[in-house]
Structure 1
């Protein structure tokens, strides 16, 4: 679920061929643009990775830290978002593939969460917003 398309398109597939200008386009009936959704997906995935790996984890402020402050990305911000998403995804996959990883052990600084739950959360959250990206692309006539 983290690395391949299954029953629906992947995040990477949903933004394939999108440039930074298109990512910043809005549709009046939709509350977000592709940039905002993509940035939110990337940040949230990074936050979950940090939670799972950093004993000194500090929870970001909701919702301010989880959504980009700018409505339109620069070309560099867009490319960074896509690159960081993939890097963080690879890091999380490596984390759960580690033979010493106990997917069901509670995360020491958490409140009962474990790696399996966090992997499912990443998949679920990304799939939800990826569906919004596909819908938005359709509304923009870009699908």
Structure 2
């Protein structure tokens, strides 16, 4: 595993996203925290949608970032939350695979994705702790 794969999917000094998602339910993730502008569910939806757009760029499925993309979509129910968790997990696997021997374009996009995601995965960890939902 190279450093880009570790940065995208956990390893070395990065916590594994799977650990951060472990045992999380919509009911828990939809709880609000005072003075935090989004719920954990909304934060995860942001991660999922930006990850998907980045992977489309990195893989060559698209040439440009989608201009109308809602990067802070809401999550309305448990089924939508479960679907976004599945998309996050599938995207993480795709990102690690693309990072194994990336093209120059994929390397640039995945490096940006890794930095963006690290910031938000840290927020996920903090919100889970604040909510008393840190996985044991």
Task: Give the TM-score normalised by the residue count of structure 2.
Answer: 0.80
Give the paired residue count. 128
Instruction: Quote how far apart the aligned CAs of 1:55 are.
Output: 5.6
Give the equivalent residue in structure 2 for 1:24.
30
2:121 pairs with 1:130: yes
Give the equivalent residue in structure 1 for 2:70.
65
RMSD, aligned α-carbons: 2.1
User: 1:35 pairs with 36, 41, 46, which one?
Assistant: 41
Task: Give the TM-score normalised by the residue count of structure 1.
Answer: 0.76
2:75 pairs with 1:84: no
Q: CA separation of 1:60/1:5 partners in 2, compared to 1, >3 Å: closer, same or farther?
A: same
More helix as a share of residues: 2
Q: Is contact 1:11-1:127 (8 Å) kept? A: no
Q: Is contact 2:56-2:62 (8 Å) kept? A: no
Quote the Cα distance in structure 1 between the aligned partners of 2:15 and 2:23: 14
- The structure with the largest alpha-carbon Rg is 1
* Higher RCO (CA-CA < 8 Å; seq separation 6+): 2
Q: Is contact 1:24-1:73 (8 Å) kept? A: no
2:90 pairs with 1:115: no
Specify every segment of 5 or more residues in structure 1 that has no aligned partner in the other structure, as ranges: 105-113
Specify every segment of 5 or more residues in structure 2 that has no aligned partner in the other structure, as ranges: 1-5
- After superposition, what is the alpha-carbon deviation per residue over 1:87-120, rounded to whole angstroms, capped at 9, x for unaligned? 122223333435xx5x32xxxxxxxxx2112121
Quote the Cα distance in structure 2 between the aligned partners of 1:21 and 1:50: 30
